[in-house]
Amino acid sequence: MTTLLLSLFGKALSLDTTDEACEWIIGVDGLLERGEKRGRVGLSEADALLRLEHGLGALHHGGGHEARDGLRGELGRFLDDLFEIGPETNIDSCCCGGSHDVASPGKPYHGRRQNAGTCRRFAATIADAPSTRPRVPRFRPKKGARQVSWSTLPPLMIDIRLIREKADEVRAQFVRLGATVDLDSVIAMDEDLRRRKTESETLRAEQNRLSKEIGKAPSPEARQEAIARGAALKAQMEALAAALEEADRALREKLLELPNLPHPDVPVGKDDSENKTIREEGKRRTFEYTPQPHWDLGTQLGIIDFDRGVKISGSRFYVLRGAGAKLQRALISYMLDLHTEKHGYTEVLPPVMVRRECLVGTGNLPKFGDNLYRDAEEDFWFIPTAEVPVTNLYRDEILDGSTLPVAHVAFTPCFRREQLAAGRDTRGIKRGHQFDKVEMVRFVRPEGSMAELKQLLGHAEDVLRGLELPYRVVEMCTGDLSFSAMAKFDLEVWSPGCAEWLEVSSCSNFGEFQARRANIRFRDAEGKPQFVHTLNGSGLALPRTLIAVLETYQRPDGKIDIPAVLRPYMGGAETIG
């Protein structure tokens, strides 16, 4: 069984497309059955599968980020489901351990056909390799070989099987969202793709039959005739393969545009006017005078410089100076310390520029590309939130289920090309193209994700409680959910100078929506890969938290009292001004 399995994998590596590789793997049942009858058993199944995963990991590293939806993704997922690989298979070591030298790092693998001897040698190499340090042969692509680039093939997101089997239920959920979705076109595209795949399999079977016929031809004339039919069939198959690839790509791109389905507990509503205020915490401060807005307080104290911010970068930019800059830094440090020391998060400091596939994974692309800044030449994208790089830390990985939940917190600047309405929030620092934020991200088991959402919300609330700022908890209705969220709660802090509630945190449960797009999974108790559920929430967003502090703690003489929890971060100072 092992020998046949490894030989099959060696052959799969030599094929030009994922579809071809999967067609080879689909035939594994019959091969295994025949192999068992012949007693062709070498290694234990677990050990063989471990080395098979090592080979997949090597191909993944050889292809760099371009191999994302290549054999490591599509073929790897298929093998996981087919063989139900147990928890003894460590995917992290499969991807990172050993000498991965299929190709130079960062250079894509070039698909090419190998002869049977090459495949057997490859299988034998894996079979002989020690399990802790696998030796993978170096495949050198032939000159002019066709390059396989998997980054252009979008990942699957909403499970197409759900749409096939429960189309009416999916339609009803989109109606709850108030989303206009042409589900019939998705179903039609899926049916067309499946029809083309069936046709491709039929042609391949015919090609195999012709190959045998050529070898058994009774005369040279009959042999030439069979060869001619085979050449014509090959041309037909190549044309169908191109059409099949395009149909697959079109369906995946269509699925990328579908929003997440709402959780059944989310209240139905048309827009933000029908959101539900769950509760209000803390007591709003009363003033014996008219409280000043932060733009007046900041200017008078010399801690917010609007004029120089505009001079440097244009409208909606500002400069924090002196105690203002230190106060913002104190807020960030307090939040990070609270989440790491009390709530158990691990702090990370990620890049603020990411590749396109990271934004596809979190649901920002392709739908919201107009709101993002990018370096078009290098195709780097500036993050709209730390959620993007932190979620993608585990893209294309299978986590150890015993480590869940995984919790990270990160502080980053954020960048958004907001279409700022004329006359709206034109004064102050409430809205801008660049802002700072502390973000919490959690990777959890599906069965407990809604309870995890409440815990995440509580962690964000703890920041406001520590700062002694009055706030309220608002549950989003279906009409005001984000594109990726299946449930969401906002925290809004009271700002007495502006006389309004300001959103400082959105805590969302994305279900498996992001995990499916980014291919983030874990192994359950039976060793079977499952998608994690991802959650994230601001903990908290600046500068609106800074606004609330300035306006809530202002004094009649124009000075600002520093909240007690921030004084250690401010060198013991009690006031600003």
**Residues catalogued as catalytic:** 416, 431, 503, 506, 544
**How far apart, in whole angstroms, are the C-alpha atoms of residue 462 and residue 562?**
18
- Is beta strand 406-415 parallel, antiparallel or unpaired with respect to 346-347? parallel
Note whether 539 and 335 are within 8 A (CB): yes
Provide the pairing of β-strand 346-347 with 471-475.
unpaired
Give residue 49's identity as a one-letter amino acid code.
Answer: L
**Nearest residue to 16 (alpha-carbon basis) of 140, 126, 149:** 149
For helices 449-467 and 323-341, give the axis angle rounded to 10 degrees.
Answer: 140
Residue 189: Cβ within 10 Å count: 19
Alpha carbons 461 and 457: distance in angstroms, whole number: 6
Report the C-alpha dihedral over residues 517, 521, 524, 529, rounded to 10 degrees: 80
Quick one: which of 89, 202, 71 has its CA closest to 526?
A: 89
Residue 223 buriedness (CB in 10 A; 0-12 / 13-18 / 19+)? middle
Per-position DSSP letters for 258-297, written without gaps between them: SPPPPPTTSPP-SSGGG-EEEEEES-PPP-SS-PPPHHHH
Q: Please report which helix (H) or strand (E) contains residue 546, including its range.
A: helix 544-552
